[in-house]
Amino acid sequence: MARIACLHTADGNIAIFDDALSASGLVGMTLRHAVRADLLAAAEREGRLTPGLVAETAAALGALCAGADAVLLTCSTLGPAAAIAARDAPVPVLRVDAALAAAAVAEGGRVVVLCAVETTIAPTRHLFEEAARATGAVVDVRWVPGAWDAFKAGDIPRYLALIAAAGDAALRTGATRLALAQASMAGAAARVGGEPHPLTSPVAGLRAAAAAVRGA
């Protein structure tokens, strides 16, 4: 049984990842969840991911390695900390949006990536553009105004509706692939009316974790 520890920055992501595991078809995997909303809140206050926050996040990821076969960082804003934690970790440490980026750019084309939190735009753009170098995909990272305010206010229906509307607009204007960068956005995928179906990070991240455990 593969034991996957997940570091979240929102309580709502626990159910999202539990549901993603059920939907993924993966067997022989259990999830353990830890929530550190303070890390994302600090990044929002600073307006960026500071070196201190990278170190604090990496330490939290390292602590989760005990009793786990792999560790998943589910917050795209804090994503760069996963590489730091992975250097000395006894088990694989991954960021869920890395698997999402690889899948989104695999066939080239014009990839639109939606973000709800402004602080995640820079790390997300870097991640997707790095992945796109191998395929020639053109990456367009977009912020969805008002979405995160709705999320923080607890208005999840409005949060998902704003994301879905932005996704529909991206597909109407020529996107060949749509990716929802943050795990909390996964519920909006079913509300996007165009094709192809949007890619989300929870299932992609869990599959990457399963592959990493097998490889280790």
pLDDT in tens, 161-182: 999 999 999 999 999 999 999 9
Contact between 193 and 109 (Cβ < 8 Å): no
Does 1 have pLDDT greater than 90?
Answer: no
Neighbours of 43 (CB within 10 A): 24
Q: Do domains 2-96+203-215 and 98-201 have the same CATH topology?
A: yes
pLDDT band at 100 (very low <50, low <70, confident <90, very high): very high
pTM: 0.89
73-80 average pLDDT score:
93
CA-to-CA distance for 49 and 193, rounded, in angstroms? 34
Class of domain 98-201: alpha beta
Topology adopted by domain 2-96+203-215: Rossmann fold (3.40.50)
Neighbours of 90 (CB within 10 A): 11
191 forms beta bridges with none
- For tokens 């929002």, the residue is 44
Residue 164: CA atoms inside 13 Å, Cβ hemisphere, count? 15
Does 103 have pLDDT greater than 80?
Answer: yes
CA-to-CA distance for 26 and 188, rounded, in angstroms? 22
pLDDT attached to residue 141: 97
Extents of the domains making up the chain: 2-96+203-215, 98-201
pLDDT attached to residue 135: 96
